[in-house]
Structure 1
Amino acid sequence: MGEDSSVNNYDIIFIGDSSDSNDNHSNSDRTNYFRNLSLSYFAAEPTEMHAEHKYLKELCLENGNPEAHYIEGILQYFVQNKRRKGLFHLCQSSIGNYKDGTYLYGLLLLALERFYKGAKYLDKLGWKDNLSTSDECSERVKKSLSKITGIMEEGYYIAMVNLEPRTQCHPDNMSVVCKHCYYYKRLNQFVQFARNIE
């Protein structure tokens, strides 16, 4: 009978002579496995991971998986209503170079009126040169949050109003942005999205 290749078989042991230069797994270990394991399915459906795959999530968190931190950040912030823990995990996701984590972290900082810091994180996505990364992150983040109700808070709207540019640059064109309107428009998109899934 062949080896059990079930996704639930988390006790993975790599066997081989690490001195063999042809061995592709010579530098692999349990930590690297769980740190680099793709959780893209669960990033799109965070509540499913919370309900059905907590053990896998914990293993990935223990080993610094940035997607796991993104998922945990969403669960803590929006489902458990633990803002501080949620922001911590989203920050860890960003530190691990997970772009969706960076985007959501920056967006939430804007929504909490921490404008300078939020802008700093959104700037890491290179929007000044090309909007495509920000646009792709926005779509994936919306998918991640689409089945979570009650994410809108009155403070987000107030932050958006306070962030509105004083100059009337590109007021109706979301695809044209500058340093005066980019952050406002991103927060505006998030607020409209949050209102629609109430």
Structure 2
Amino acid sequence: MPIFIQIQIILFLAKDSIEAFHNVLTAFPGLGTAAKSPLVLKHLNLQFLTVQSLSSLNMYQNLMNLCVSAGNLEAHYLRGMQEYFQKENIADGLAHLQIAAQGLYDNAIYLYGIIMLSRGDPAIGKPLLDSLEWRENKARSDACWQSINTSIHGVRVKRFEIYITTYKATSPTINCHRNNIAIRLAQVIQQIAPTTETSEARGDDRSKPCLPRCQVDASWMANSDVFGGGLVMETELEIHLYGSTGKEQVLSPLHAEFSSLLWAMMYSLHLGFMSMNFESDCLQMVNLINDEEEWPSLVSEWNEFVHLRSYFTGFSLSYISRKSNVRADLLAKGLVLKTETFPM
């Protein structure tokens, strides 16, 4: 069999998983030469190592070296984490992470962007994070963080002095204390209100919103005992009601978004609004509800939603960008901050 055909066969399997790659080499040792092709090594799926990055420090060294030399983005990402965090070899670590980020590997974009911001270089860090389009939809950046959090488990992460220097040099945009968070949030909301009400900010051609409407958002953090919910209700043009709530921690960000919507629905009914247009920046929840998908982990929330919706004479749920939902987001985050313990 011609070598180029062998390479195409092994390349197809290499992209799928390391298990498939290993199994075909075990079954057909004659493909060993094709398996060492730079093209194959460049695209070899190393996901099994990204979820246990410490394994490649003592094992798989030869494989890692070959993949790095071939330009494998996952290999550069792994090597970058190991060099930067575990070995404290800053220059080499950043170089590997930069290569992976420039290759458009999402996890590397997120991690390299955060590191550069922490090291006082927002000119590099901010555009990288913005490229993940986190303002429009949090799902992509949240997935990156969850994956990185798994990859870095067990890795020694040191707080470098430059992080402290950068933090101290960063001026706060607003002075805030735990006892006046609500007041400060109200000030910020009033400042940004004009910019979030335009049709351009909503990303559509409507000159006027469909009223009454209620924008809702949630703030969920993995290590917190609570999550926050926020809402901005526009009952008439330029007439707004604001609300926020703190609830016991739930399983995931999606559960928090769903619970916040249920709270907003009850709030609307309590105020006597039997017809309401709800808006959320959680596209996953909006699609789940509008498509009436069944999620086993959300059975209780779904049953409560169906019950509450039966009281409405008019109900709709639509997606808006995160930029258009910034006021509800601030209210939700403020509740979480207010219930957290602040170092004195």
Q: Please give the TM-score of this superposition, normalised by the length of structure 2.
A: 0.42
Moved more, 141-150 or 112-121: 141-150
CA contact (8 A) 1:65 1:96 kept: no
Distance in 2 of aligned mates of 1:153 and 1:134: 24
Shift of 1:137: 0.3
Q: 2:44 matched to 1:44? A: no
| Structure 1 residue aligned with 2:153 | 146
Q: Note the residue ranges of structure 1 that are not aligned, 5 or more in a row.
A: 15-27, 186-198
Q: Please give the TM-score of this superposition, normalised by the length of structure 1.
A: 0.70
Shift of 1:148: 1.1
Amino acid at match of 2:132: L
Greater gyration radius:
2
Following superposition of structure 1 onto structure 2, how do residues 161-172 of structure 1 map, counting pairs within 5 Å? Answer: 162-163=169-170, 165-167=172-174
Deviations 1:147-193 (A, max 9, x none): 0124333432443454464145689x7469769x9xxx9xxxxxxxx
Amino acid at match of 1:13: T
Following superposition of structure 1 onto structure 2, how do residues 1-198 of structure 1 map, counting pairs within 5 Å? Answer: 5-6=25-26, 12-14=32-34, 30-160=37-167, 162-163=169-170, 165-167=172-174, 174=219
Distance in 1 of aligned mates of 2:100 and 2:167: 24
Identity between Structure 1 and Structure 2 (%): 24
CA contact (8 A) 1:77 1:83 kept: yes
Shift of 1:56: 0.3
CA contact (8 A) 2:25 2:32 kept: no
SS at match of 1:152: coil
| Structure 2 residue aligned with 1:188 | none
SS at match of 2:136: coil
Distance in 2 of aligned mates of 1:158 and 1:142: 24
Amino acid at match of 2:118: A
CA distance 1:13–1:97, change in 2 (3 Å) = same
Shift of 1:6: 4.0
CA contact (8 A) 2:112 2:125 kept: yes
Shift of 1:131: 1.1
Shift of 1:129: 1.5
Shift of 1:145: 1.2
Shift of 1:96: 1.6
CA distance 1:143–1:157, change in 2 (3 Å) = farther
Distance in 2 of aligned mates of 1:162 and 1:130: 30
CA distance 1:56–1:77, change in 2 (3 Å) = same
CA distance 1:12–1:163, change in 2 (3 Å) = farther
